[in-house]
Structure 1
Amino acid sequence: MSVTFDGISIAGSGMQAYQTWLDAIADNIANINTITAVGDEPFQERLVQVEARDPNAEIGGVDVVDTPLADTPGRLVYDPNHPLANNDGFVVAPTLALEELMTDLIIAQRSYQANTNVLNRARESYERALEIGQ
């Protein structure tokens, strides 16, 4: 396979992986304030596991191999007026840090953009190569 097609394939797989990560981060941010009753399972952070393809494979890149949920216990929050509060006034909130999620969001966005740039440059190279052949 040509270097141009390898670049397109690798960048495309990177874009898919980062899109999956962006979706997971968005889901986590959307549920950062999801409250559950004590004894119920709290919202679990969605993670993304990516693996590089075999270097000897015909098409390079990465694949999303799993999107597991984190196994975190949640944190007790005192909110006696919440409808789900127990007799002691506690509810369970997810163990998520907005600042970490926002940092991950910026990293994922920039990485997606970098892969988009690589894809565009590879496409332009391919188009120029076709023009030479005319």
Structure 2
Amino acid sequence: MSMFSIFNVAGSAVSAQAQRLNVVASNLANADAVAGPDGQSYKARQVQFQTVPMGGPGSAGVKVQNVTESDQPGRRTYEPNHPSADGEGYVTHSNVNPVEEMVNMISASRSYQNNVEVMNTAKSLLLKTLQMGN
């Protein structure tokens, strides 16, 4: 793997993790959302990654394959006076688990930071290599 392939691989990972962070932010923003007039509540979304070949042999990056919605039912609470309550007095909330999303956010953030560090290290090594020629 050439030094330049490192930037492609780490760059693809940074881009994928940025998309993952956006999905987590959307999930957290809708954690307390209730069902709308159509009776449907917000469903948590998860990012699925896919390995993609990059450059030469043995070099693979990552991209977001798709974003899927969770099929878990929303949390229902009995609140008969709530304006969004159904005929039985229940309000359906989103199925987002804030604790899981916070863990997911920390993981994505650390992955993002690690890949930025890989690019910075590769840049530093390339600069040192250029300085050796002088």
Q: Smaller-chain TM-score range?
A: 0.7 to 0.9
Calculate the TM-score normalised by the size of structure 1: 0.87
1:89 Cα offset (Å): 1.5
Measure the CA separation in 1 of the matches of 2:53 and 2:61: 9
CA RMSD of superposed structures (Å): 2.0
The one-letter code of the counterpart of 1:30 is A
Measure the CA separation in 2 of the matches of 1:77 and 1:61: 44
1:42 Cα offset (Å): 1.5
Contact 2:75 2:93 survives alignment (8 Å): yes
Question: Partner residue of 1:117?
Answer: 117
Contact 2:51 2:63 survives alignment (8 Å): yes
What whole-Å deviation, never above 9, does each CA across 1:51-108 have from its counterpart, x for those lacking one? 11237x5363111111122223312211222111123221111112111111111111
Unpaired runs of 5+ residues, structure 2, are none
Measure the CA separation in 1 of the matches of 2:102 and 2:80: 30
Question: Partner residue of 1:77?
Answer: 77
Question: Partner residue of 2:15?
Answer: 16
1:9 Cα offset (Å): 1.3
Distance 1:115 1:109, change over 3 A: same
What whole-Å deviation, never above 9, does each CA across 1:106-129 have from its counterpart, x for those lacking one? 111111111111010011111222
1:31 Cα offset (Å): 0.2
Unpaired runs of 5+ residues, structure 1, are none
Calculate the TM-score normalised by the size of structure 2: 0.87
Question: Partner residue of 1:90?
Answer: 90
The one-letter code of the counterpart of 1:98 is P
What whole-Å deviation, never above 9, does each CA across 1:29-54 have from its counterpart, x for those lacking one? 00001101586221111111111123
The alignment-based identity, stated in percent, is 33
Equivalent residue runs for 1:12-91 within 5 Å: 12-36=11-35, 40-54=39-53, 57-58=55-56, 60-91=60-91
Give structure 1 regions of 4+ aligned residues with deviation exceeding 3 angstroms: none
Q: Which moved more, 1:34-43 or 1:7-16?
A: 34-43
